[in-house]
Amino acid sequence: MSVTAPLGFRAAGVAAGLKSRDARDLALVVNDGPSRAAAGVFTRNRIKAAPVLWSEQVLTGGRVRAVVLNSGGANACTGPAGFQDTHATAEKVAEVLGDSAGEIAVCSTGLIGERLPMDRLLPGLDLVAAQLTRDGGLAAADAIRTTDTVTKISFRRGEGYMVGGMAKGAGMLAPAMATMLSVVTTDADVPASELDRVLRKAVGLTFDRLDTDGCMSTNDTVLLLASGASGITPDPAEFEKKVTEVCADLARQLQVDAEGATKAIAIEVVGAAHEDEAVAVGRAVARSNLLKCAIHGEDPNWGRVLSAVGTTEAVFEPDRVNVAINGIWICRGGAAGDDRAKVDLRPRDVTITVDLSAGPHSATIHTTDLTADYVHENSAYST
């Protein structure tokens, strides 16, 4: 279903020869309207890829006709020439669609620092445009994969409208969004300003709370496009809920497919004085390589949880912190609690609960274990 689940969208994914192996690497998602309202959230990395710089400008207009996405190259750190490549890509898509380049968003993913092979990409755009169909969402989702082992798609049904989405991301998953590209579509009729509000909130609660390896990418982009083709103006709260659910579902798929991961770890922080502090504590725990190794080894090493909590500025008293792993409170009052032998770490899903005993706020950060496979995958070749 993916991005073509809602009415008004066509998509396609083709092999343009950007990747060395013969796989799909170029995707196009077109909004046929009647509305073109759109919103975007981008990486907070100060080193931004050319397509991010371009698409940020496009999104200031609140309108997107089409999104072109490529794997096989991030077009980041490529200087003015790289930006011209992005510009040329948007111009070419606009030409094929008989539209304006100013409403064509561009996303790229892959190795940083190398120019895209434009001699293959530009002809590929003719190819992908020729294959646009109402059921091309899956092919598009396939084309944006890099080290992703599976395509990531999702959809939810609202009252008379649909929300669909696709995403890619397996490594460099961190703070200001898991390193990732995602396009979410809807046939609801929603103005750009409302899309912007809803998307920021949804991303803040989902992609932003996935932190698998602490590395923030230069290319992170999440776009929300509304065709209005259902003719339905949704209830704002319901619409926000559906978009958030699609983003959460995609984020979960990114987590499960994270490079080398054997465990999906939820760091649930409760009893925080402020939600921000709950997020900060969860993120600190999620970034402890030592803890991530311990969970990989199915060792309930709560000392590594506490030592990560202690690096934050959050309000807490060391002797009032409690920690549970998979429901067993093995740390109570900052010291050993229930018998650690009771903790069953064999299941793939692991929940680490940190109770700061400092207030009513909470947040959950999602991460993975750190494995030899992660090291192999990220040392064996450039990504």
- Give which of 1, 141, 128, 129 is closest to 71, Cα–Cα: 141
Site string for its own copies, 273-312 (x = CB under 8 A): --------------xxxx--xx-xx-x-xxxx-xxxxxxx
Does residue 92 belong to the site contacting its own copies (CB under 8 A)?
no
φ, ψ for residue 101 (rounded to 5)? -60, -25
Tell me which residues in 198-237 interact with its own copies (CB under 8 A).
213-218
Does residue 150 belong to the site contacting its own copies (CB under 8 A)?
no
Query: 78 a known binding residue?
Result: no
Does residue 46 belong to the site contacting its own copies (CB under 8 A)?
yes
Does residue 381 belong to the site contacting its own copies (CB under 8 A)?
yes
Minimum CB distance to its own copies, residue 365 (Å) = 16
Exposure letters 89-102 (e unless 16+ CB within 10 A, then b): bbebbbebbeeebe
Residue among 89, 147, 151, 179 flagged as catalytic? 179
Query: For every residue of 232-290, which 3-state class applies, written as one string?
Result: CCCCHHHHHHHHHHHHHHHHHHHHHCCCCCCCEEEEEEEEECCHHHHHHHHHHHHCCHH
Does residue 333 belong to the site contacting its own copies (CB under 8 A)?
yes
In the complex with its own copies, which residue's Cβ is closer, 175 or 234? 175
Q: Is-contact 67 225, C-beta < 8 A?
A: yes
Q: How many CB atoms lie within 10 A of CB 55?
A: 26
Does residue 77 belong to the site contacting its own copies (CB under 8 A)?
yes
Tell me, what amino acid is at 70? Answer: N
Q: Is 89 a catalytic residue?
A: no
Q: Which stretch binds its own copies (CB under 8 A): 40-48, 122-130, 231-239, 357-365?
A: 40-48
Minimum CB distance to its own copies, residue 83 (Å) = 10
Q: Please give the C-alpha separations between residue 95 and each of 1, 103, 255, in angstroms, as whole numbers.
A: 27, 12, 37
φ, ψ for residue 281 (rounded to 5)? -65, -45
Minimum CB distance to its own copies, residue 319 (Å) = 7
Angle 202-45-13 (CA atoms, 0-180°, nearest 5)? 65
Give the residue, chosen from 2, 4, 70, 78, that forms a contact with its own copies under the rule CB under 8 A.
78
In the complex with its own copies, which residue's Cβ is closer, 130 or 336? 336
Strands, sheet with 181-186, edge to edge from the N-terminal-most edge strand: 37-42, 221-226, 181-186, 162-168, 152-157
Between β-strands 349-355 and 322-325, what pairing exists: parallel, antiparallel or unpaired?
A: antiparallel
Does residue 108 belong to the site contacting its own copies (CB under 8 A)?
no
Q: 34 preceded by cis ω (within 30°)?
A: yes
Give the residue, chosen from 79, 98, 119, 339, that forms a contact with its own copies under the rule CB under 8 A.
79
User: Which residues contribute to the annotated binding site for substrate?
Assistant: 146, 168, 179, 259, 378, 383
- By the criterion CB under 8 A, which residues form the site for its own copies? 45-48, 74, 76-79, 81-82, 111-115, 171-172, 175, 213-218, 287-290, 293-294, 296-297, 299, 301-304, 306-312, 316, 318-319, 321, 331, 333-336, 369-372, 374-382
Where in the sequence numbering do the catalytic residues fall? 179
